[in-house]
Copies of this chain bind each other. A is one copy, B any other.
Amino acid sequence: MANLDFYTTPLDVNDTKIFGTADTAAHFAKVAGDNASLQRILSALQRGPVHFYRNNVIALDEDVADYLLFVVTGVVRSCKICKKGTRSVVSFYLPGDFFGWVDAKLSLSIEAATDTEVLFIKRKGLVALASQDVRVANVLLTAATNELARAQEHVLLMSKSAKCRAATFLTDLWVRLGKAQYLDVPMSHQDIADYLGLTIETLSRAITDMERSELISRVPSQRRLILQNHFGLRRVMN
């Protein structure tokens, strides 16, 4: 845990808080399902929730080797800075997402894309439990394969046009956030552009273009959108 200096709120590994808010429990249920005993097991292994401010580093590979992460609130990004100074965002994690299968060779860093609260779950403890409880093993395998499916979709997206990438991203985000009336985009355009392999300017033009075509509209609030024409969006997405 040498790298915990990076943390905004230092993580005290001896401080096991039992999470208590209904909100947290509801999100946590996404991982454990309605299996109450499994939820108890997982909650006993957790550390946190730990709060991070936007753009702070949550973990580097070394940390992720020790912990699996669970997002309670906010958005987490995993990204890679390459030597040239360019950044790629590999994945976004939203509330309820359970992740941490990071290959050390990739040297990704896990960062807060917004202010966020994250649970840390000791990997070793969970793996040990998995050997005793099939359900735990299934939770792990399911989480890993879900993340794989997302990564494969991301690969497919990267060979499409800018407009298609933007439309797909916004629609997927809208679905992941629960298909609310408004899509309050939580992360910056720069984060999205780095996720989609575009420049911020190209992303902006793509969004403006969709607005002009009345596929989406912008509510004059910070980053609030309405997906107006789902049929049209689907056409742009291919």
A221 to chain B, nearest CB (A): 30
Looking at chain A's contact residues, the main secondary structure is helix
A183 to B195, CA, bound (A): 33
| A 144-173 to B, binary, CB cutoff 8 A, 1 in contact else 0 | 111111011111101100000000000000
Q: Which residues of B contact A82 (CB under 8 A)?
A: 238
A105 at the interface (CB under 8 A from B): yes
Q: Is the CB of A155 within 8 A of B106?
A: no
Q: Which residues of B contact A185 (CB under 8 A)?
A: none
A108 at the interface (CB under 8 A from B): yes
Q: Is the CB of B148 within 8 A of A106?
A: no
Closest chain B residue to A108, Cβ basis? B152
Closest chain B residue to A80, Cβ basis? B156
Closest chain B residue to A137, Cβ basis? B137
A1-54 residues at the B interface, CB under 8 angstroms: none
A130 at the interface (CB under 8 A from B): yes
A191 to B63, CA, bound (A): 37
A155 to B149, CA, bound (A): 12
